[in-house]
A and B are shown apart, each in its own frame.
Chain A
């Protein structure tokens, strides 16, 4: 039943449908054009953007270089560290999991607060450290209970470890977390958990030990979770440092002075290599690796025996009588006295308006140079110091290393104080007086030296006048091979004068009149020489002298004299120099000299054992 109306409707429909179909075609062409524009014209630009989306560059932390002693013993190493992490997204409820973990591994309220804070801040798939440095047993127990601890992830990381604990604390130092001020150019420092050297060699040589960061190009998803690694540039591990320190000698020395507040330096007199550099008391650097507790740190900080100070290079002490060799040599070189001239000691010495005293109240009577050194007569040295004058003593002391830093690879090295007329006028605004010279003549007054400087002085006195520079680190191997070893310059002085000094130092220990005769060695190959010193910490007042000079044992610890000794051995053809200071230890001959004897004996015996071993 086709009507006109139907036919008209059909025509209208066809027209209008055709119009709309045309519109569809135009719109579809628009889609095609857009596709072409994006995928052909914009392809490279969008590929770049897609790659920027998916590729993330991640730093790979380098392995920190090891520190070894001269024979290759580990002093600072990287140790696997058992730790426990929690991955929040895998835990149904972080607090419940921690509660469950608490039964195996106690978690303090503070730790818990820290963990929960980190959980809130970080993305849910990133692990949060729950506990570090676990012992194997605890770690194993956590592992066994993993099914009941949703989200807990046992992890094996790497931490710095000092197997010798407090033995080398002052030399090696320690590492700790980077603080905000230290973040600089090296992006490594921004890695979570990255540690840098904070003290000792770890700090001074941090750049060499640190190594170079590697990187890894990883594909990440929209959340930043790593999907796979695309390429990798491995990190370059830090340099291994080899010290001149002999762990065994260091250990012996440290044990020997364990109960004292003391410093001992042992050096090879020809090469300047330091075999032992001890400062007691010390601390365990391992405590600092993970952040030391306030309580522990404050205890170290407030200890009057200053365990955090490296006394061997940072401690400046009056050298006392150990300085007399410098005065004697200056006088001999200046020609103001000779070996044979005797000076009378009646225990007092008048200079200006004051009276100076000799340590021996009865006086020494007539003494010449060698005996004066052996008996450590103060009056003799007041006299010759006055004759030679402070400026020539100053010059001689400078040639033996006083008043300068050697640039040893340990932080905090002090230069001591080598006084002179000019120094006193400019620094104190006071003219130098005769009494000042007399004081310096016996190593008191203004002169200050570090144990390291004392040891260098001793080495230069007995090595034939070579100005050795102390060193604690073997040079890098490649440098060592290409560059000739630096030959130390020679200190110009008369060999005969030097022989007189040596005779005096030999007599201190090996002559019946010597103050440390009790410490002599009968075995010629193990015999040694040296010089004692007792440095007054507090001036003895005239009032005290009138009553009675108190013995050291009667004074409180802090007021007692420092006991010093500088020694060398063996007597024939010396090889080692030793300097010792025992803070408030009393007399040099009774307290410090025996330490030197024991240390040298140990070294000689070790040498003998090695030779026998080599011969067999």
Chain B
């Protein structure tokens, strides 16, 4: 134990060195993705910085600052803070849930002045930190024990239950998926996941039989939007028209008829990808996907090269969360999955999600800077 602690201290580097080890290429990629967002927000406002682009830039700058701060702080500090952070997030979630239930304005967020913070966003990060710490502290043998599953399942279930009640299906799915990904890579038994996957089908059938007719109708409309072109299928159809009509080269900056003439719903938030696809075509879409891929590839490479299990799981959890944001949002824009409220990472207008993702990238960068730091199973300062 002592040795571990001493070793850990020896490994900590001066701040300037840490800054110099910050991966500038990845920071540039993050800035480029965000700039795609600024460009699109400028376009959907009909060529204006107001009301979206300007505020988005300000948030991004603040978020970038936070990202760098997170990256240079010793990873053991984060491991130490993992549980307190998780409980803080849980308390905030309970507060907004209770406020929502008592009818004091159905809010999901807490006003921080420059932005509205959604505790559910905070929870995505906090859960990954907590689970990474939990699995870090276990031996290979312990990982395989079923009783060791109780804590992580509770850690996942508590916030999910609160978020589902809000109700925010998209976010709760993201929380579950992020948590399960850590369980999976942390080493829980493989057959649990196989059984879980197989259980989806009977669960879906069971859920269908319990659904009310109007809910079934919604599902059918998702599967075939033309069923209800002016109602529930409208968003889906208009989004597909926008993407398809963009063609290979797009209609040009501020030239997208679907977005400029308001045929697209939620064009500055959840459906901003359709604006990109309409105005910049296949080229624009592929370029953005490329940038995302670079970022994800970097995060995965970091996972493989980090020496501590905590760093690996943290970085991996962030990569999975980031990927899920990107995939669900784009798939929804392209009419491949139902319309759920998930923003396009770093591009959609909105403060909370951007902060979550920048914090997440901050942890990946942090893991990269501290890749050689080894942490004892007992924890850095334990």
Contacts and interface: CB of A to CB of B under 8 A. Distances in A.
Max count, chain B CB within 10 A of own CB: residue among A47, A51, A219: A47
Contacts of B172: none
A448 to B, nearest CB: 64
Given A8-B140, A20-B181, A40 B248 contact: yes
A463 B258 CA distance: 75
Contacts of A27: 323, 327
A423 interface: no
Contact of B303 (A6, A17, A35): A17
Interface string B276-313: 01000110011001000100100010011001010011
Max count, chain B CB within 10 A of own CB: residue among A2, A32, A220: A32
B286 A9 contact: no
B166 interface: no
Contacts of A8: 140
A53 interface: yes
B186 to A, nearest CB: 8
B151 interface: no
A10 B244 CA distance: 44
B257 A46 contact: no
A184 B344 CA distance: 52
B245 interface: yes
A53 B296 contact: no
Interface string B161-191: 0000000000000000000010011110000
A31 B240 contact: no
B143 interface: yes
A24 B296 contact: yes
B261 A46 contact: no
Interface residues of A, number: 43
B247 interface: yes
A54 B261 contact: yes
Contact of B185 (A20, A38, A42): A20
A43 B286 contact: no
A43 B247 contact: yes
Contacts of B331: 30-31, 34
A5 B141 contact: yes
A21 B296 CA distance: 9
Contact of B261 (A30, A40, A227): A227
A49 B376 CA distance: 61
Interface string B202-215: 00000000000000
Contacts of A547: none
B124 to A, nearest CB: 17
A375 B244 CA distance: 95
Contacts of A32: 286, 289
B257 A54 contact: yes
Interface in A494-527: none
Contacts of B296: 24
Interface in A10-54: 10, 12-14, 16-17, 20-21, 24, 27-28, 30-32, 34-36, 38-40, 42-43, 45-47, 49-51, 53-54
B26 to A, nearest CB: 17
Contacts of B323: 24, 27
Nearest to B4: A1
A54 B327 contact: no
Interface in A37-75: 38-40, 42-43, 45-47, 49-51, 53-54
Contacts of A24: 296, 323, 327
Interface string B134-164: 0000011101000000000000000000000
B293 A28 contact: yes
Contacts of B336: 30-31, 34
A39 B248 contact: yes
Contacts of A219: 257, 261
A54 B263 CA distance: 9
A219 B240 CA distance: 20
A9 B140 contact: yes
Contact of B7 (A1, A5, A38, A222): A1
Contacts of A51: 245, 257
A39 B263 contact: no
* SS of A interface (majority): helix
B57 interface: no
B217 to A, nearest CB: 24
A35 B320 contact: no
B243 A35 contact: yes
B45 interface: no
Contacts of B117: none
A490 interface: no
B268 interface: no
Nearest to B304: A14
Max count, chain B CB within 10 A of own CB: residue among A4, A8, A14, A27: A27
A221 interface: yes
A21 B322 CA distance: 12
Contacts of B185: 12-13, 16-17, 20
Nearest to B261: A221
A398 to B, nearest CB: 68
Contacts of A39: 243-244, 246-248, 277, 281-282, 285
A24 B321 CA distance: 11
A223 interface: yes
A20 B289 contact: no
B30 interface: no
B24 interface: no
B220 to A, nearest CB: 21
B244 A1 contact: no
B241 interface: yes
B3 interface: yes
Given A21-B300, A24-B323, A50 B245 contact: yes
A180 B39 CA distance: 52
B337 to A, nearest CB: 11
Nearest to A227: B261
Nearest to A39: B282
B240 to A, nearest CB: 6
Contact of B140 (A12, A21, A36, A50): A12
B289 A28 contact: yes
A17 B300 contact: yes
Given A9-B140, A54-B263, A35 B245 contact: no
Given A47-B245, A49-B245, A50-B257, A222 B141 contact: no
Interface string B1-45: 001100100000000000000000000000000000000000000
B327 A220 contact: no
Nearest to B285: A35
A31 B330 contact: yes
A54 B260 CA distance: 10
B258 A38 contact: no
B52 interface: no
Contacts of A16: 184-185, 187
A536 B369 CA distance: 122
Contacts of B262: 221-223
B242 A50 contact: yes
A14 B312 CA distance: 9
B374 A35 contact: no
B96 interface: no
Nearest to B328: A27
B263 A222 contact: yes
Contact of B247 (A5, A30, A47, A223): A47
B339 interface: no
Nearest to A6: B309
B244 A53 contact: no
A463 B307 CA distance: 124
Contacts of B282: 35-36, 39-40
7 contacts: A9-B143, A16-B184, A17-B316, A35-B286, A38-B240, A39-B243, A50-B258
Interface of B: 3-4, 7, 139-141, 143, 181, 184-187, 238, 240-248, 257-258, 261-263, 277, 281-282, 285-286, 289, 293, 296, 300, 303-304, 307, 309, 312-313, 316, 320, 323, 327, 330-331, 334, 336, 374, 376
Which 10 residue pairs are nearest across A and B when measured between Cβ atoms? A46-B244, A50-B245, A221-B261, A5-B139, A8-B140, A46-B245, A222-B262, A38-B244, A43-B247, A54-B257
